[in-house]
Amino acid sequence: MKPVFCLLSFFLFSQTAFAQASGGSDLSNPVVMVIVLGALSLAPFVLIMLTSFVKISVVLSILRNALGTQQVPPNQVITGLAFVLTIFIMVPVARQMYQAAGTIANTRDIFSEASVKSLFEAGKQGKEPLRRFLAKHSHDKDRVLFMEMASRLDGQANQPPQIGREDFQVVIPAFVTSELKEAFQIGFLVFVPFIIIDMVVANVLLSMGMHMLSPSVISLPFKLLLFVLVDGWFLLVRGLVLSYL
């Protein structure tokens, strides 16, 4: 079983087991508690690599650099806003995963054959909405690249290629690469108007002979004014959220 599939299945198992245990007051089961704690340890990986957090956080960081406001907004605000928008975007996917996974029977006897089958079946069904989300927002070119590289690695290990375009081993790195690519494309579009303002202010100061005055200090109020007049936060947040529809 592939390592990535194991991580995802373990996370899905723990989510469903926690929901079932909460309904039946079975949190005293030590195995259930271990699964829940294991899921919490995987939460940062899932949040960063399998959601929209990467693109949103990169775009917001590029915006701050384009404005030239140094540490305004601070890193905590950027991370918090990216986290809130990520939750807003991923809630429908998480709801589909929970509904697809269903409930696990016999959590009190979790080592029974029926319980183990229920766990694996819940993980198998619950991961499909996440797979569809990752495949939808990953570029075909990136998926083909990672599929070819995975096939080459299997060939070097003297194993027959068993990698498909929809495998998590392919769609996860393709999704992250696609998110970074789109984030830099958006960042370029965000940078352009602010660079124009910097160039205009620098040329005006040069023509007036004010060589000792920093252009960035003079252009900062104009960039903030432009961003406020066009309602930049509304346009940026709206564009980021709609890019996942």
Q: Residue 69, exposed/middle/buried by CB under 10 A (0-12, 13-18, 19+)? A: middle
Mean pLDDT of 195-213: 84
Q: Which of residues 16 and 87 earns the better pLDDT score?
A: 87
Split at pLDDT 50, 70, 90, the class of 104 is low
Q: Would you kindly state where each structural domain of the chain is located, as residue ranges?
A: 3-242
CB 167 within 8 Å of CB 145:
no
Rounded CA separation 130/134 (Å): 6
pLDDT of residue 175: 92
How confident is the model over 107-128, as pLDDT tens digits?
454 444 445 455 556 666 667 8
Greatest pairwise CA separation for the chain in angstroms: 83
Q: Which of residues 124 and 17 earns the better pLDDT score?
A: 124
Q: Which of residues 125 and 180 earns the better pLDDT score?
A: 180
> How is residue 70 annotated by DSSP?
T
CB 147 within 8 Å of CB 119:
no
